[in-house]
Each structure stands twice: as structure tokens, then as C-alpha cells.
Amino acid sequence: MYSGFEFKDRYDIEDLLEIMRILRSEDGCPWDREQDHKSIRKDFLEEVYEVCEAIDREDSALLREELGDVLLQVVFHARIEEEKGNFTFADSVNDICCKLIVRHPHVFGDVQADNTDEVLKNWNDIKQKTKGQETYTQTLESVCTALPSLMRAQKLSQRAARAGYGESSEEAAEKALEESCRRCIADKSDESLGDMLFAAAELARLRGRDAEELLAQAGERYTEHFSTVEDLIRCEGKDMRSLNIDELNAYKQRAKINELRDHR
């Protein structure tokens, strides 16, 4: 037993930090000492998914437990970095506090934001500025590549839409028709849409391909194409959001021609 540890009826965050320090010490646990960021990476993902499961089940008791497990992972990774002399758990706490204050100027400053849309616009504008993102392409490139591909694809298209690159529902329907998804177009139900996505994954399996991998590759091609379009627009001193649909389509066509030429 580790000597000097104080048992309590109730522990707090400082106790958790101390327990992790003990576990990683020479007199602690051999398994905990051997771990690094990569070895416990999957554990972090699993704990987050278990939190999501608790939320989906509306199980408060399970959520309480799983949130603690996620917090353990945060403290674990922070401890590894502290041992390297890079940063501490307190540094991460400070950073997120500063980020929240900066990104809520309507609460901690004199900016006016009367509804959710204005709040989100301010948040995204501030985020882009603080991260030094000067182009719309950079906002797409900053989407986490470790996200599940379906989730990442949605975030990519969402950020493209903010730049005025989004497609209308009619254009989306035309693409769905091209992919032989007529039933999905006809009833426009969530069930049919889900069936379409499932069928695509099933087809990939029957062809011996990984659906997540294929979608990840498509996301990269999407970002590259978006970047080509934006470069063409910026080279002519224009902003994508100022273009009408015909002008934007013309740039898209030029981008496709350039891409075909580059791949020859």
C-alpha cells in the first residue's frame, strides 16, 4: 500500500490529480507507469462513446459514472505532459476558461447577441480569427481528421456552406438521383435517408471496401476541390459569398478542368 495517502468520505479534483500522480510514480502501478498518449488513445474514445450512450439512454447514474471516466482520461493525458515538462492540468483549465471568455463577448464584453444565430456567428468569426484562419479552405482543413467520417463529412459541408459554397436542396436531389436513390427523393423521410446511407455502406462491404475509408477519401477530395475553387476566386480579388449560383458554378467547372489537367 502507498504510504501517506489520506482516505476521505468525499474526494475532489485535487484528490484525482494526486491519485494519478501516485499511480504514475515509482511506488504506484506498473501498468499506469507504462502508458503513453497513444496506448490509452482508444480508451479515451471508448469512454466518450460510453458517455454518449448514457445520454442516449437518459441514464443519469450511468452518465455520472462515465463523465468521471472521461475526466480520468483528461487527467491521465495531462499528467503525462506534466511529467515531460510541457504543461499541467491547470494550464488546460486556464486555456479553456480564457477561450470561453473570448468567445462569449456578448456575456463578458459589450457585443450584442440577441439570439442563437448571432451567438454562433460571433463564435465562428472569433474562432477563425484566433486560429489565424485567413481562407475558407483553412476552416475546412481544421476539421478534426480523427472524427468518424460521416460526422466529419457533415462538418466539412457545413463549413463550406458558411462560405457560400452550400448547395440547394434541388441540387442535392439531383445528386441523389444520379446515385439511384429515387425512393429517398420521393418520400424525403429520415428512414429512407438512413436506408440510403446503410445501403451505400453495405455495397462497399460487398465490394470488399471499407465505407469509412472511402468516405474519408471523398472528404479529402471535397476539401481539395473547394480549395481549388477558392483559389480561383481569390486570385480574381473576389469573395465566394458575394457570388451568385451561376458564377459559383462557373468557378467549379474551371476547377474541375484544372483538376483533370493536373491528374493527367
For the CA atoms of 156, 162, 165, 170, the dihedral, rounded to the nearest 10 degrees, stands at 90
Write the pLDDT tens digit of every residue in 39-73: 999 999 999 999 999 999 999 999 999 999 999 99
Inter-residue contact 80 to 36 (CB < 8 Å): yes
* Domain 13-99, CATH number (from 1.10.10.410, 1.10.287.1080, 3.40.50.2300, 3.40.50.300): 1.10.287.1080
pLDDT, position 177: 41
**Numbered ranges of CATH 1.10.287.1080 in the chain:** 13-99
pLDDT tens digits for range 126-178: 888 888 888 999 999 988 888 888 778 878 877 887 888 865 555 553 454 44
pTM (predicted TM-score) = 0.70
Alpha helices in the chain (DSSP H): 13-23, 30-34, 41-57, 60-84, 89-102, 105-108, 116-130, 136-141, 149-162, 169-178, 182-187, 190-206, 211-235, 245-262
